[in-house]
Structure 1
């Protein structure tokens, strides 16, 4: 089962659900890997997080709302930092997963670096006090304004993505009389086992310089020849929501072959190597994410072994987890508005949010789980589809889930694993204001991103 412990397995899509969906032995049970660390069901049946009941959160802050377990988020930061720090690697939190000033301050306190990929993310990082030297800037089409801000702020590294960008940045550096640190993003031709829209290292896509076509070597060559930018190393990222570490091993071997070629042919031993992120998390019981300890050791070893085979010094490593830190640390809290049974098929449970606060189901065919959060139930399970309030038949939050047969309007429903990409990809479709983000810790709740209002929407409409 997805949000619950599993019982009997069913085989066909329809009233029994897809082949992997198991009818729960107990619709009230929570499957631990899917939920933030402090979440549990209290004696009254309601979920509690950070010492606070979700019913109290709903009463104070309304629904829908993203609820961030701050202690869980911090613990995941520490776990990644400990695992990769043990092998001498830096950890850059990928801000695109979810970023706000409060998150930046947590990253500062926990000792992580930060990866940003737009001027807005960079502005947020700087406003919250992140040391610019600990920031990396990504993006396949950085504007001159974004590059200027990064250079003037003293961003620690800029990951260059095209020859046009190298031209732009080189001219800017000459004008400013500075020497920005850069890395070359390399597409290594690794086909990550993930959705095509979030696989980023195969050749036919927008990111980086091709390894197979020789563009990555040419980019590194011209940067070194011009001697205006400081080339720190190579960068690769093979995709997102990846569980198979084989892809990282192949990626490391291929990018290190380029690293060795640069040393042999250009006489430069680049000091850094970034292997990206994309580490998967559990959205359902079918997902089996690796522990950071099980990632750091093997990734470091393959780099060391490959460098030994190439007779080159081992570069300083860095990785970029985002989803793996933010994703499991939060859930979305909704209120059920209508329940509609389609006899012989499934029951449609409509909530007060939808694709404007979680576009991933529609965009990536992503799977999520759900549970009734405001009470326990003694009813048996029914196959349900959790849908939103938007004028779109594809407005689906959870495609298939077993929920209690007595689910009714007014129930609170919690969807775990929504800490990454849900708020950062949220929209105002149908002019629906975006939900707030509520951080909870040690019995205290605070708003870290305010709920949008209709006044906020109208403020930008000049009429």
Structure 2
């Protein structure tokens, strides 16, 4: 099985109307259990259910479009990472999706939380998460957010520039505290992913380069500072990664850097964070590793490098975000219009327009990310046709699902469900065309809770003070 390239159709065979991996389903009513959260099923009428609650009931109460979080599934994925990586620190990457409830859930399942803005830090603190279990990222942290991190005594701040180190020292001196820090380094590894989400090659905004010595300079600077406690180093090679090859190279280079630091200073650093970026299944072409498989591979890699440098294995940490929240959430949309379009070679594609779009999931427009979709409100025995699920925005790139087989009897008013929408969809949502952001609800054992209410036009107009 091949993996979906995150750039999707950009790299597809242009002679084919659909990607080679896309298979026509034998039964349009079937649900691939690897694509959907654990409690998703269909009832006898074909209505999609989450945690025992039907899609039509959810939409009747909370409107359309709608994000639906399977709480049991999200908790189980967080717990699986905590158990697989026993002895390591696991931080949930809040940038994938955060609200106070999700912050509480992952904390209750034994995870810390990684934030990268003043807003995310504030939400984490308001969720009641122990500040000692919060890590704070960001390549351009403001004085305001650094001050909140310092005064809240977050467990670690991942420093990303010499200017930030200076700001942090000034704040620590003013408040008479010591900040615990990791130095973010770029290991020169380009993960097999899209340019916009590959973060360990040299020509990008994050971290200090190992190659040109910047990383060592930053580490020594933090080590000698009376206001900072240098814990170790941090590396993150990208997102939606399936193979561990890149982590092997990153571990080798970061462990060598730890060894060189000890030789230069006589001090041993206790921690190494390999970041996150673990891929999930968006389509039938994706085959991600399980947490147990990831843990086994990463442990072997780190232990091998430690033996090579005759070092103790440092305290290790990882930062899964997408792998926890992504598969746990689906999105529901209502069909508005249907339009068949003739393609070259006598083929045809059905354009299915729904009441959302790039404002609630920018990933397909940003880097042609691929998704799957099903008819969610009824049973059908109609043949399937190559389709494209598109939004209502005034952009030709407003596409939610590039290629999918949907039944040819689909009509306005039908409901489309898209799995794996829990990461970087609501988190990246916008108000383009003055669209209002959908609500986010959670379902568990038949009980529904609102996590984020639906925006209204009144909310948008409240910002317009002219």
- 1:404-438 Cα offsets, whole Å, 9 max, x none, are 00000000100111000100000000000000101
TM-score (norm 2): 0.95
What's 2:91 paired with? 92
Instruction: For 1:80 and 1:20, locate their aligned partners in 2 and report how far apart those are by CA, in whole Å.
Output: 29
2:426 pairs with 1:423 = yes
Q: Tell me, which stretches of 5 or more residues in structure 1 are unaligned?
A: 3-10
> Is the Cα contact below 8 Å between 1:223 and 1:229 reproduced in 2?
yes
Q: Where in structure 2 are the equivalents of 1:184-333 lying within 5 Å? A: 184-333=183-332
Deviation at 1:227, TM superposition (A): 3.1
What's 1:437 paired with? 440
- 1:392-411 Cα offsets, whole Å, 9 max, x none, are 11100000110000000000
**What is the aligned length?**
453
2:464 pairs with 1:461 = yes
Deviation at 1:301, TM superposition (A): 1.9
- 1:57-103 Cα offsets, whole Å, 9 max, x none, are 11111110000000000000110000001xx1011000000000010
> Is the Cα contact below 8 Å between 1:34 and 1:283 reproduced in 2?
yes
2:24 pairs with 1:23 = yes
Instruction: For 2:423 and 2:411, locate their aligned partners in 1 and report how far apart those are by CA, in whole Å.
Output: 28
What's 2:109 paired with? 110
Deviation at 1:24, TM superposition (A): 1.3
What's 1:168 paired with? 167
What is the SS of the residue equivalent to 2:348?
Answer: coil
What is the SS of the residue equivalent to 2:157?
Answer: strand
Q: Where in structure 2 are the equivalents of 1:302-451 lying within 5 Å? A: 302-343=301-342, 344-451=347-454
What's 2:60 paired with? 59
Deviation at 1:15, TM superposition (A): 7.9
Deviation at 1:13, TM superposition (A): 5.7
Structure 1 runs of 4+ aligned residues shifted over 3 Å read 11-16
Deviation at 1:14, TM superposition (A): 7.2
Instruction: For 1:322 and 1:459, locate their aligned partners in 2 and report how far apart those are by CA, in whole Å.
Output: 32
Q: Say if 1:27 and 1:12 are closer, same or farther in 2 by CA, change over 3 A.
A: farther
TM-score (norm 1): 0.96
Deviation at 1:18, TM superposition (A): 2.4
What is the SS of the residue equivalent to 1:233?
Answer: strand
Deviation at 1:12, TM superposition (A): 6.7
What's 2:131 paired with? 132
Q: Tell me, which stretches of 5 or more residues in structure 2 are unaligned?
A: 4-11
